[in-house]
Structure 1
Amino acid sequence: MNYGSSVTLPLRLWFGAEVFFGLAAILSITIAPQDTASNFAWTIKPTVTAAILGAFYASVAPIFVLAMVARRWEMVRVIIWPAIVFTSIELAATWIHWDKFRVESDSFALWYASYLLPPPIFLALFFYQVRRQVSLPALEPIAKPMRIALCALGCLFTIEGLYSFVRPEHFTANHAFDVTALTARATAGWIVALGLMMVSMAWEGAHERVRIGLPFLILPLPLLLVQMSRFADEVDWSHPRLIAALVMFAATSLLGLWLARGNWRTSLS
Protein backbone atom coordinates (compact mmCIF):
# COMPACT_ATOMS: atom_id res chain seq x y z
CA MET A 1 0.00 0.00 0.00
CA ASN A 2 1.44 3.31 -1.04
CA TYR A 3 -0.03 5.91 1.26
CA GLY A 4 1.32 8.36 3.78
CA SER A 5 4.92 9.32 4.42
CA SER A 6 7.74 6.82 4.78
CA VAL A 7 9.73 6.05 7.91
CA THR A 8 13.08 7.73 7.37
CA LEU A 9 16.32 5.77 7.65
CA PRO A 10 17.52 7.58 10.83
CA LEU A 11 14.31 6.69 12.67
CA ARG A 12 14.43 3.10 11.44
CA LEU A 13 18.03 2.80 12.65
CA TRP A 14 17.07 4.19 16.04
CA PHE A 15 14.28 1.63 16.33
CA GLY A 16 17.04 -0.94 15.81
CA ALA A 17 19.01 0.59 18.67
CA GLU A 18 15.92 0.33 20.87
CA VAL A 19 15.62 -3.34 19.98
CA PHE A 20 19.22 -3.80 21.15
CA PHE A 21 18.55 -2.01 24.46
CA GLY A 22 15.37 -4.01 24.99
CA LEU A 23 17.06 -7.32 24.23
CA ALA A 24 19.81 -6.55 26.73
CA ALA A 25 17.20 -5.84 29.41
CA ILE A 26 15.24 -9.01 28.64
CA LEU A 27 18.36 -11.18 28.78
CA SER A 28 19.10 -9.84 32.24
CA ILE A 29 16.15 -8.66 34.30
CA THR A 30 13.36 -10.60 32.56
CA ILE A 31 15.07 -13.97 32.39
CA ALA A 32 17.18 -13.78 35.57
CA PRO A 33 15.65 -11.18 37.94
CA GLN A 34 17.29 -12.96 40.86
CA ASP A 35 20.74 -11.95 39.56
CA THR A 36 20.43 -8.17 39.39
CA ALA A 37 23.42 -7.78 41.71
CA SER A 38 25.61 -8.91 38.83
CA ASN A 39 23.62 -8.43 35.62
CA PHE A 40 21.75 -5.14 36.05
CA ALA A 41 22.37 -1.47 36.74
CA TRP A 42 21.37 -1.78 40.39
CA THR A 43 20.53 -4.54 42.82
CA ILE A 44 16.76 -4.95 43.03
CA LYS A 45 15.14 -6.45 46.11
CA PRO A 46 12.83 -8.23 46.55
CA THR A 47 13.30 -10.31 43.43
CA VAL A 48 9.63 -10.13 42.44
CA THR A 49 9.94 -6.38 41.80
CA ALA A 50 12.80 -7.04 39.38
CA ALA A 51 10.66 -9.71 37.72
CA ILE A 52 7.82 -7.20 37.33
CA LEU A 53 10.11 -4.69 35.62
CA GLY A 54 11.25 -7.53 33.40
CA ALA A 55 7.64 -8.21 32.40
CA PHE A 56 7.27 -4.64 31.16
CA TYR A 57 10.48 -4.84 29.11
CA ALA A 58 9.26 -8.03 27.46
CA SER A 59 5.85 -6.52 26.72
CA VAL A 60 7.30 -3.67 24.64
CA ALA A 61 9.93 -5.70 22.79
CA PRO A 62 7.61 -6.62 19.87
CA ILE A 63 6.73 -2.95 19.34
CA PHE A 64 10.17 -1.87 18.19
CA VAL A 65 10.62 -5.00 16.09
CA LEU A 66 7.36 -4.18 14.30
CA ALA A 67 8.38 -0.53 14.02
CA MET A 68 11.62 -1.54 12.30
CA VAL A 69 9.73 -3.25 9.48
CA ALA A 70 6.81 -0.81 9.18
CA ARG A 71 7.06 1.39 6.10
CA ARG A 72 4.84 4.33 7.01
CA TRP A 73 5.38 7.08 9.59
CA GLU A 74 1.66 7.20 10.37
CA MET A 75 1.85 3.61 11.62
CA VAL A 76 4.70 4.18 14.11
CA ARG A 77 3.88 7.73 15.24
CA VAL A 78 1.73 6.40 18.10
CA ILE A 79 4.75 5.15 20.05
CA ILE A 80 6.97 8.22 19.85
CA TRP A 81 5.66 10.49 22.63
CA PRO A 82 5.12 7.63 25.11
CA ALA A 83 8.75 6.63 24.44
CA ILE A 84 10.01 10.20 24.96
CA VAL A 85 8.16 10.64 28.26
CA PHE A 86 9.01 7.15 29.54
CA THR A 87 12.74 7.44 28.90
CA SER A 88 12.76 10.93 30.44
CA ILE A 89 11.14 9.58 33.60
CA GLU A 90 13.62 6.71 33.87
CA LEU A 91 16.47 9.17 33.36
CA ALA A 92 15.10 11.41 36.11
CA ALA A 93 14.81 8.39 38.42
CA THR A 94 18.45 7.58 37.68
CA TRP A 95 19.60 11.06 38.64
CA ILE A 96 17.46 11.13 41.80
CA HIS A 97 18.77 7.76 43.03
CA TRP A 98 22.29 7.95 41.60
CA ASP A 99 23.83 6.53 44.78
CA LYS A 100 21.83 3.30 44.38
CA PHE A 101 23.39 2.40 41.02
CA ARG A 102 26.54 0.44 40.29
CA VAL A 103 27.88 3.34 38.24
CA GLU A 104 31.21 1.68 37.42
CA SER A 105 29.58 -1.37 35.86
CA ASP A 106 28.94 -2.12 32.19
CA SER A 107 25.30 -2.80 33.08
CA PHE A 108 24.90 0.76 34.33
CA ALA A 109 26.60 2.20 31.24
CA LEU A 110 24.07 0.36 29.07
CA TRP A 111 21.17 1.44 31.30
CA TYR A 112 22.30 5.07 31.29
CA ALA A 113 22.77 5.19 27.53
CA SER A 114 19.35 3.62 26.97
CA TYR A 115 17.68 6.51 28.81
CA LEU A 116 20.04 9.43 28.20
CA LEU A 117 19.99 9.14 24.39
CA PRO A 118 16.35 8.44 23.47
CA PRO A 119 14.60 11.66 24.60
CA PRO A 120 16.59 14.09 22.41
CA ILE A 121 16.92 11.61 19.53
CA PHE A 122 13.23 10.69 19.44
CA LEU A 123 12.28 14.37 19.76
CA ALA A 124 14.54 15.43 16.89
CA LEU A 125 13.37 12.55 14.68
CA PHE A 126 9.73 13.28 15.50
CA PHE A 127 9.95 16.85 14.20
CA TYR A 128 12.01 15.70 11.21
CA GLN A 129 9.25 13.25 10.31
CA VAL A 130 6.48 15.79 10.94
CA ARG A 131 7.99 18.13 8.36
CA ARG A 132 7.72 15.34 5.79
CA GLN A 133 4.33 13.90 6.71
CA VAL A 134 1.23 14.05 4.52
CA SER A 135 -2.24 14.68 5.99
CA LEU A 136 -4.39 11.69 5.04
CA PRO A 137 -7.71 10.29 6.32
CA ALA A 138 -7.93 7.19 8.48
CA LEU A 139 -8.56 3.91 6.66
CA GLU A 140 -10.16 2.10 9.62
CA PRO A 141 -11.52 4.68 12.10
CA ILE A 142 -11.84 3.62 15.73
CA ALA A 143 -15.39 3.97 17.06
CA LYS A 144 -15.94 6.94 19.36
CA PRO A 145 -16.86 4.83 22.46
CA MET A 146 -13.60 2.92 22.09
CA ARG A 147 -11.61 6.15 21.76
CA ILE A 148 -13.27 7.46 24.92
CA ALA A 149 -12.43 4.22 26.76
CA LEU A 150 -8.82 4.41 25.62
CA CYS A 151 -8.51 8.02 26.71
CA ALA A 152 -10.21 7.48 30.08
CA LEU A 153 -8.18 4.41 31.05
CA GLY A 154 -5.02 5.96 29.67
CA CYS A 155 -5.50 9.08 31.78
CA LEU A 156 -6.05 6.95 34.90
CA PHE A 157 -2.79 5.08 34.32
CA THR A 158 -0.92 8.29 33.53
CA ILE A 159 -2.12 10.11 36.65
CA GLU A 160 -1.40 7.10 38.84
CA GLY A 161 2.10 6.76 37.40
CA LEU A 162 2.97 10.45 37.70
CA TYR A 163 1.71 10.61 41.28
CA SER A 164 3.70 7.49 42.20
CA PHE A 165 6.82 9.02 40.67
CA VAL A 166 6.46 12.28 42.59
CA ARG A 167 5.42 10.53 45.80
CA PRO A 168 6.95 7.02 45.70
CA GLU A 169 5.70 6.39 49.24
CA HIS A 170 2.26 6.07 47.64
CA PHE A 171 3.66 2.92 46.04
CA THR A 172 5.99 1.72 48.76
CA ALA A 173 3.84 2.18 51.88
CA ASN A 174 0.99 -0.19 51.10
CA HIS A 175 1.55 -2.81 48.45
CA ALA A 176 1.35 -6.54 47.83
CA PHE A 177 5.15 -6.80 48.04
CA ASP A 178 8.03 -4.72 49.31
CA VAL A 179 9.10 -1.90 46.99
CA THR A 180 11.99 0.55 47.26
CA ALA A 181 11.65 4.19 46.21
CA LEU A 182 13.88 3.63 43.17
CA THR A 183 11.94 0.60 41.98
CA ALA A 184 8.68 2.47 42.60
CA ARG A 185 9.81 5.33 40.39
CA ALA A 186 11.10 2.98 37.69
CA THR A 187 7.76 1.13 37.72
CA ALA A 188 5.88 4.45 37.66
CA GLY A 189 7.62 5.25 34.39
CA TRP A 190 6.14 2.12 32.83
CA ILE A 191 2.68 2.98 34.14
CA VAL A 192 2.91 6.45 32.62
CA ALA A 193 4.14 4.98 29.32
CA LEU A 194 1.19 2.59 29.18
CA GLY A 195 -1.26 5.37 29.93
CA LEU A 196 0.22 7.70 27.33
CA MET A 197 0.20 4.90 24.77
CA MET A 198 -3.56 4.58 25.17
CA VAL A 199 -4.06 8.35 25.02
CA SER A 200 -1.91 8.44 21.89
CA MET A 201 -4.01 5.67 20.34
CA ALA A 202 -7.20 7.60 21.09
CA TRP A 203 -5.64 10.66 19.46
CA GLU A 204 -4.64 8.75 16.31
CA GLY A 205 -8.15 7.33 16.07
CA ALA A 206 -7.50 4.63 13.46
CA HIS A 207 -6.93 0.90 13.80
CA GLU A 208 -4.09 0.82 11.27
CA ARG A 209 -2.26 3.58 13.18
CA VAL A 210 -2.36 1.93 16.61
CA ARG A 211 -1.70 -1.77 15.95
CA ILE A 212 2.07 -1.54 16.34
CA GLY A 213 1.62 -0.34 19.93
CA LEU A 214 -0.89 -3.04 20.88
CA PRO A 215 1.58 -5.57 22.38
CA PHE A 216 2.07 -3.08 25.22
CA LEU A 217 -1.66 -3.25 25.96
CA ILE A 218 -2.12 -6.99 25.52
CA LEU A 219 1.01 -8.51 27.06
CA PRO A 220 1.53 -6.88 30.49
CA LEU A 221 -1.22 -8.86 32.25
CA PRO A 222 -0.08 -12.38 31.23
CA LEU A 223 3.61 -11.50 31.59
CA LEU A 224 3.11 -9.93 35.02
CA LEU A 225 1.23 -13.03 36.19
CA VAL A 226 3.98 -15.31 34.88
CA GLN A 227 6.76 -13.24 36.44
CA MET A 228 5.04 -12.86 39.81
CA SER A 229 4.22 -16.59 39.93
CA ARG A 230 7.95 -17.33 39.69
CA PHE A 231 8.38 -15.66 43.08
CA ALA A 232 4.90 -16.21 44.48
CA ASP A 233 6.09 -16.44 48.07
CA GLU A 234 7.08 -12.74 47.93
CA VAL A 235 3.58 -11.64 46.87
CA ASP A 236 0.44 -11.03 48.95
CA TRP A 237 -2.02 -12.23 46.31
CA SER A 238 -5.05 -11.09 48.31
CA HIS A 239 -3.87 -7.48 48.65
CA PRO A 240 -6.58 -5.05 47.39
CA ARG A 241 -4.10 -2.91 45.45
CA LEU A 242 -2.78 -5.92 43.56
CA ILE A 243 -6.30 -7.05 42.71
CA ALA A 244 -7.24 -3.55 41.52
CA ALA A 245 -4.08 -3.35 39.40
CA LEU A 246 -4.77 -6.72 37.78
CA VAL A 247 -8.33 -5.65 36.98
CA MET A 248 -7.01 -2.52 35.25
CA PHE A 249 -4.44 -4.51 33.30
CA ALA A 250 -7.19 -6.98 32.32
CA ALA A 251 -9.28 -4.10 30.96
CA THR A 252 -6.24 -2.87 29.05
CA SER A 253 -5.63 -6.32 27.55
CA LEU A 254 -9.25 -6.57 26.42
CA LEU A 255 -9.02 -3.16 24.73
CA GLY A 256 -5.83 -4.25 23.01
CA LEU A 257 -7.33 -7.52 21.79
CA TRP A 258 -10.36 -5.71 20.40
CA LEU A 259 -8.18 -3.19 18.59
CA ALA A 260 -5.97 -5.97 17.21
CA ARG A 261 -8.74 -7.20 14.94
CA GLY A 262 -8.49 -6.49 11.23
CA ASN A 263 -5.82 -6.49 8.55
CA TRP A 264 -2.33 -5.99 10.01
CA ARG A 265 -0.88 -5.46 6.54
CA THR A 266 -2.28 -1.93 6.57
CA SER A 267 -0.12 -1.21 9.63
CA LEU A 268 3.13 -2.56 8.22
CA SER A 269 2.95 -1.68 4.52
Structure 2
Amino acid sequence: MTRPAALTRQGPDRLRPAARWLAVLLVPFLVVASVLLYLFPTRTEVLFAWTIAPPLSALFLACAYIGGIWFFARVARETRWHRVHRGFVAVLVFASLLLVATLLHWDRFHQGTFIFAVWATLYVTTPFLTAAVLWLHRGVDSGRPEERDYLLPGGVRAVLVAVGLAALAAGLALFLFPVQFGQSWAWDLTPLTARVVGAVLTLPGMVNLFLVRDARWSAFREVFQAQIVSLAFILLALFIGRDALTGPGAVPVVVGLCVSFLAYVTFYVYCERRRRVS
Protein backbone atom coordinates (compact mmCIF):
# COMPACT_ATOMS: atom_id res chain seq x y z
CA MET A 1 0.00 0.00 0.00
CA THR A 2 1.41 3.41 -1.01
CA ARG A 3 1.50 5.95 1.82
CA PRO A 4 1.21 9.72 1.41
CA ALA A 5 4.40 11.70 1.77
CA ALA A 6 5.30 12.58 5.32
CA LEU A 7 4.00 15.93 6.46
CA THR A 8 6.63 18.54 7.25
CA ARG A 9 6.91 20.95 10.14
CA GLN A 10 5.27 23.61 7.98
CA GLY A 11 2.44 21.31 6.92
CA PRO A 12 -1.11 21.19 8.23
CA ASP A 13 -0.20 18.66 10.92
CA ARG A 14 2.24 21.00 12.67
CA LEU A 15 2.23 21.04 16.48
CA ARG A 16 1.85 24.63 17.67
CA PRO A 17 4.19 26.10 20.32
CA ALA A 18 1.33 26.43 22.82
CA ALA A 19 1.16 22.63 23.18
CA ARG A 20 4.88 22.37 23.85
CA TRP A 21 4.83 25.24 26.34
CA LEU A 22 1.97 23.61 28.26
CA ALA A 23 3.92 20.34 28.34
CA VAL A 24 7.05 22.11 29.62
CA LEU A 25 4.94 23.84 32.28
CA LEU A 26 3.27 20.66 33.54
CA VAL A 27 6.19 18.22 33.64
CA PRO A 28 7.93 19.70 36.73
CA PHE A 29 4.70 19.61 38.74
CA LEU A 30 4.05 16.03 37.66
CA VAL A 31 7.58 15.03 38.67
CA VAL A 32 7.22 16.56 42.14
CA ALA A 33 3.77 15.01 42.69
CA SER A 34 5.02 11.61 41.50
CA VAL A 35 7.98 11.68 43.87
CA LEU A 36 5.84 12.73 46.84
CA LEU A 37 3.11 10.17 46.21
CA TYR A 38 5.15 7.19 44.99
CA LEU A 39 8.11 7.45 47.37
CA PHE A 40 6.27 8.81 50.41
CA PRO A 41 2.69 7.47 50.13
CA THR A 42 2.36 7.20 53.91
CA ARG A 43 3.18 10.86 54.54
CA THR A 44 0.49 12.63 52.54
CA GLU A 45 -0.90 14.24 55.70
CA VAL A 46 2.15 16.55 55.72
CA LEU A 47 3.52 16.38 52.17
CA PHE A 48 0.45 16.50 49.93
CA ALA A 49 -2.70 18.52 49.30
CA TRP A 50 -4.85 16.12 51.30
CA THR A 51 -4.41 13.02 53.42
CA ILE A 52 -4.70 9.91 51.26
CA ALA A 53 -5.47 6.58 52.88
CA PRO A 54 -4.66 3.83 52.33
CA PRO A 55 -1.26 4.60 50.74
CA LEU A 56 -2.20 2.45 47.74
CA SER A 57 -4.54 5.21 46.57
CA ALA A 58 -1.61 7.65 46.64
CA LEU A 59 0.51 5.20 44.64
CA PHE A 60 -2.29 4.78 42.09
CA LEU A 61 -2.57 8.53 41.50
CA ALA A 62 1.22 8.77 41.24
CA CYS A 63 1.15 6.20 38.43
CA ALA A 64 -1.18 8.42 36.40
CA TYR A 65 1.24 11.31 36.90
CA ILE A 66 4.20 9.15 35.86
CA GLY A 67 2.40 8.29 32.62
CA GLY A 68 1.75 12.02 32.23
CA ILE A 69 5.46 12.78 32.59
CA TRP A 70 6.23 10.38 29.73
CA PHE A 71 3.45 11.80 27.55
CA PHE A 72 4.26 15.49 28.06
CA ALA A 73 7.99 14.89 27.72
CA ARG A 74 7.19 13.47 24.27
CA VAL A 75 4.92 16.43 23.49
CA ALA A 76 7.74 18.87 24.33
CA ARG A 77 9.84 17.34 21.52
CA GLU A 78 7.04 16.54 19.08
CA THR A 79 6.40 18.27 15.74
CA ARG A 80 3.14 16.62 14.60
CA TRP A 81 -0.18 17.26 16.27
CA HIS A 82 -1.96 14.05 15.35
CA ARG A 83 0.57 12.00 17.33
CA VAL A 84 -0.49 13.58 20.65
CA HIS A 85 -4.01 14.85 19.95
CA ARG A 86 -5.80 11.93 21.67
CA GLY A 87 -3.73 12.36 24.81
CA PHE A 88 -4.75 15.99 25.17
CA VAL A 89 -8.44 15.06 25.05
CA ALA A 90 -7.90 12.46 27.79
CA VAL A 91 -5.99 15.01 29.90
CA LEU A 92 -8.82 17.53 29.48
CA VAL A 93 -11.36 15.05 30.87
CA PHE A 94 -9.03 13.91 33.68
CA ALA A 95 -8.14 17.44 34.81
CA SER A 96 -11.76 18.58 34.62
CA LEU A 97 -12.90 15.68 36.79
CA LEU A 98 -10.23 16.40 39.38
CA LEU A 99 -11.28 20.05 39.44
CA VAL A 100 -14.87 18.97 40.14
CA ALA A 101 -13.66 16.50 42.79
CA THR A 102 -11.66 19.26 44.46
CA LEU A 103 -14.69 21.55 44.61
CA LEU A 104 -16.97 18.77 45.88
CA HIS A 105 -14.56 17.76 48.66
CA TRP A 106 -13.05 21.15 49.44
CA ASP A 107 -13.15 20.51 53.19
CA ARG A 108 -10.93 17.41 52.86
CA PHE A 109 -7.95 19.40 51.57
CA HIS A 110 -5.16 20.98 53.60
CA GLN A 111 -6.29 24.51 52.99
CA GLY A 112 -3.80 27.26 53.68
CA THR A 113 -0.81 25.12 52.76
CA PHE A 114 1.53 25.78 49.85
CA ILE A 115 0.99 22.34 48.31
CA PHE A 116 -2.79 22.82 48.29
CA ALA A 117 -2.38 26.23 46.66
CA VAL A 118 -0.33 24.56 43.92
CA TRP A 119 -2.90 21.76 43.54
CA ALA A 120 -5.84 24.17 43.34
CA THR A 121 -4.05 26.46 40.88
CA LEU A 122 -3.13 23.57 38.60
CA TYR A 123 -6.61 22.10 38.47
CA VAL A 124 -8.33 25.45 38.07
CA THR A 125 -6.09 26.35 35.10
CA THR A 126 -5.13 23.06 33.40
CA PRO A 127 -8.60 22.18 31.99
CA PHE A 128 -8.86 25.62 30.36
CA LEU A 129 -5.27 25.62 29.08
CA THR A 130 -5.74 22.14 27.62
CA ALA A 131 -9.02 23.18 26.01
CA ALA A 132 -7.25 26.20 24.53
CA VAL A 133 -4.56 23.98 23.01
CA LEU A 134 -7.22 21.75 21.47
CA TRP A 135 -9.03 24.81 20.08
CA LEU A 136 -5.81 26.19 18.56
CA HIS A 137 -5.31 22.87 16.75
CA ARG A 138 -8.85 22.53 15.41
CA GLY A 139 -8.79 21.30 11.81
CA VAL A 140 -5.01 20.76 11.92
CA ASP A 141 -5.11 16.96 11.58
CA SER A 142 -5.75 15.98 7.97
CA GLY A 143 -6.48 12.38 8.95
CA ARG A 144 -3.84 11.03 6.58
CA PRO A 145 -1.45 8.28 7.69
CA GLU A 146 2.25 8.95 7.83
CA GLU A 147 4.66 7.69 5.19
CA ARG A 148 5.62 4.80 7.49
CA ASP A 149 2.47 4.01 9.36
CA TYR A 150 0.26 1.03 10.19
CA LEU A 151 -3.50 0.97 9.85
CA LEU A 152 -5.02 -1.03 12.69
CA PRO A 153 -7.44 -3.80 11.63
CA GLY A 154 -11.10 -3.30 12.44
CA GLY A 155 -11.26 -6.29 14.78
CA VAL A 156 -8.33 -5.06 16.87
CA ARG A 157 -9.84 -1.60 17.08
CA ALA A 158 -13.17 -3.07 18.19
CA VAL A 159 -11.50 -4.92 21.06
CA LEU A 160 -9.60 -1.82 22.18
CA VAL A 161 -12.76 0.30 21.97
CA ALA A 162 -14.56 -2.27 24.16
CA VAL A 163 -11.71 -2.11 26.68
CA GLY A 164 -11.88 1.67 26.60
CA LEU A 165 -15.64 1.69 27.14
CA ALA A 166 -15.25 -0.64 30.12
CA ALA A 167 -12.55 1.58 31.68
CA LEU A 168 -14.58 4.71 31.00
CA ALA A 169 -17.75 3.19 32.44
CA ALA A 170 -15.92 2.04 35.57
CA GLY A 171 -14.27 5.42 35.96
CA LEU A 172 -17.48 7.40 35.58
CA ALA A 173 -19.33 5.03 37.92
CA LEU A 174 -16.72 5.60 40.63
CA PHE A 175 -16.77 9.32 40.03
CA LEU A 176 -20.54 9.77 39.96
CA PHE A 177 -21.40 7.20 42.64
CA PRO A 178 -18.26 7.01 44.82
CA VAL A 179 -19.95 5.48 47.86
CA GLN A 180 -21.90 2.75 46.08
CA PHE A 181 -19.20 1.64 43.62
CA GLY A 182 -16.27 2.42 45.92
CA GLN A 183 -17.39 -0.41 48.18
CA SER A 184 -16.73 -2.89 45.36
CA TRP A 185 -13.19 -1.71 44.59
CA ALA A 186 -9.98 -3.62 45.28
CA TRP A 187 -9.02 -1.52 48.30
CA ASP A 188 -10.80 0.87 50.67
CA LEU A 189 -11.82 4.17 49.09
CA THR A 190 -13.17 7.37 50.55
CA PRO A 191 -15.61 9.36 48.37
CA LEU A 192 -12.74 11.64 47.33
CA THR A 193 -10.26 8.88 46.50
CA ALA A 194 -13.01 6.97 44.67
CA ARG A 195 -13.51 10.00 42.44
CA VAL A 196 -9.76 10.34 41.91
CA VAL A 197 -9.40 6.66 40.98
CA GLY A 198 -12.39 7.06 38.66
CA ALA A 199 -10.76 10.03 36.96
CA VAL A 200 -7.58 7.99 36.39
CA LEU A 201 -9.60 5.20 34.76
CA THR A 202 -11.07 7.63 32.23
CA LEU A 203 -7.61 8.27 30.75
CA PRO A 204 -7.28 5.01 28.74
CA GLY A 205 -11.02 5.02 28.16
CA MET A 206 -11.00 8.37 26.38
CA VAL A 207 -7.95 7.46 24.28
CA ASN A 208 -9.36 4.14 23.07
CA LEU A 209 -12.70 5.65 22.04
CA PHE A 210 -10.97 7.52 19.21
CA LEU A 211 -10.14 4.17 17.60
CA VAL A 212 -13.75 4.11 16.40
CA ARG A 213 -12.85 6.49 13.57
CA ASP A 214 -9.04 6.58 13.46
CA ALA A 215 -7.03 3.52 12.42
CA ARG A 216 -3.57 5.16 12.29
CA TRP A 217 -1.09 3.64 14.70
CA SER A 218 0.89 6.89 14.58
CA ALA A 219 -2.08 8.65 16.22
CA PHE A 220 -1.91 6.38 19.29
CA ARG A 221 1.70 5.22 19.49
CA GLU A 222 2.99 7.82 21.94
CA VAL A 223 -0.12 7.73 24.13
CA PHE A 224 0.15 3.93 24.37
CA GLN A 225 3.77 4.32 25.46
CA ALA A 226 2.57 6.49 28.35
CA GLN A 227 -0.14 3.98 29.23
CA ILE A 228 2.36 1.10 29.31
CA VAL A 229 4.69 3.08 31.57
CA SER A 230 1.78 3.92 33.87
CA LEU A 231 0.60 0.30 33.98
CA ALA A 232 4.10 -0.94 34.82
CA PHE A 233 4.25 1.38 37.83
CA ILE A 234 0.69 0.39 38.81
CA LEU A 235 1.69 -3.29 38.97
CA LEU A 236 4.67 -2.38 41.14
CA ALA A 237 2.36 -0.27 43.32
CA LEU A 238 0.00 -3.22 43.76
CA PHE A 239 2.91 -5.30 45.00
CA ILE A 240 4.11 -2.55 47.35
CA GLY A 241 0.63 -1.93 48.74
CA ARG A 242 -0.59 -5.52 48.54
CA ASP A 243 -1.66 -5.54 52.20
CA ALA A 244 -4.45 -3.08 51.32
CA LEU A 245 -5.96 -5.38 48.66
CA THR A 246 -8.82 -6.59 50.82
CA GLY A 247 -11.81 -5.32 48.87
CA PRO A 248 -14.29 -7.54 46.98
CA GLY A 249 -12.88 -6.34 43.67
CA ALA A 250 -9.27 -7.15 44.51
CA VAL A 251 -8.92 -10.25 42.32
CA PRO A 252 -10.67 -8.92 39.18
CA VAL A 253 -8.91 -5.53 39.42
CA VAL A 254 -5.45 -7.05 39.88
CA VAL A 255 -5.99 -9.67 37.17
CA GLY A 256 -7.45 -7.06 34.83
CA LEU A 257 -4.48 -4.74 35.28
CA CYS A 258 -1.96 -7.57 34.77
CA VAL A 259 -3.73 -8.74 31.62
CA SER A 260 -3.98 -5.15 30.36
CA PHE A 261 -0.24 -4.61 30.81
CA LEU A 262 0.68 -7.82 28.95
CA ALA A 263 -1.84 -7.12 26.21
CA TYR A 264 -0.70 -3.51 25.73
CA VAL A 265 2.97 -4.50 25.55
CA THR A 266 2.23 -7.28 23.05
CA PHE A 267 0.02 -4.96 21.00
CA TYR A 268 2.66 -2.23 20.99
CA VAL A 269 5.45 -4.56 19.85
CA TYR A 270 3.23 -5.99 17.10
CA CYS A 271 2.27 -2.56 15.77
CA GLU A 272 5.88 -1.38 15.82
CA ARG A 273 6.94 -4.37 13.74
CA ARG A 274 4.14 -3.79 11.27
CA ARG A 275 5.05 -0.11 11.03
CA ARG A 276 8.67 -0.87 10.19
CA VAL A 277 7.77 -3.14 7.27
CA SER A 278 5.09 -0.85 5.82
TM-score (norm 2): 0.86
TM-score (norm 1): 0.89
Percent identity over the alignment? Answer: 23
Contact 2:90 2:203 (C-alpha < 8 Å) held by counterparts: yes
Matched, 1:67 2:75: yes
Q: What RMSD, in angstroms, separates the aligned Cα atoms of the two structures?
A: 2.2
* Residues 39-77 of structure 1: CA deviation (Å, up to 9, x unaligned): 111011122221222222223321111111111011111
Matches within 5 A, 1:38-117: 38-117=46-125
Quote how far apart the aligned CAs of 1:240 are: 4.8
Quote how far apart the aligned CAs of 1:16 are: 1.2
Contact 2:63 2:233 (C-alpha < 8 Å) held by counterparts: yes
SS in 2 for 1:187: helix
**d(CA) in 2 for partners of 1:164, 1:63:** 25
* Residues 77-113 of structure 1: CA deviation (Å, up to 9, x unaligned): 1111111111000000000000000121111122112
Match of 2:242 among 217, 232, 235: 232
Runs of 4+ off more than 6 Å: none
Quote how far apart the aligned CAs of 1:206 are: 1.1
**d(CA) in 2 for partners of 1:32, 1:105:** 18
**Partner of 2:174 in structure 1?**
164
**Partner of 2:3 in structure 1?**
none
**Partner of 1:124 in structure 2?**
132
**Partner of 1:206 in structure 2?**
216
Contact 2:175 2:198 (C-alpha < 8 Å) held by counterparts: yes
Matched, 1:150 2:167: no
**d(CA) in 2 for partners of 1:92, 1:71:** 32
Q: Which residue identity is paired with 1:248?
A: G
SS in 2 for 1:117: helix
* Residues 5-34 of structure 1: CA deviation (Å, up to 9, x unaligned): 211111110011221221121121122111
Quote how far apart the aligned CAs of 1:147 are: 0.7
**d(CA) in 1 for partners of 2:88, 2:137:** 11
Choose 30-39 or 81-90, whichever is displaced more.
Answer: 30-39
Q: Which residue identity is paired with 1:87?
A: A
Corresponding pairs, count: 263
SS in 2 for 1:260: helix
**d(CA) in 2 for partners of 1:11, 1:224:** 27
Q: Which residue identity is paired with 2:79?
A: R
SS in 1 for 2:150: coil
Quote how far apart the aligned CAs of 1:196 are: 0.9
Q: Structure 1's 9 and 211: CA in aligned 2 closer, same or farther, altered over 3 A?
A: same
Contact 1:164 1:185 (C-alpha < 8 Å) held by counterparts: yes
Structure 1, gaps ≥5 residues long: none
Quote how far apart the aligned CAs of 1:183 are: 0.6
Match of 1:247 among 255, 258, 267: 255
**Partner of 2:206 in structure 1?**
196
Q: Structure 1's 235 and 134: CA in aligned 2 closer, same or farther, altered over 3 A?
A: closer
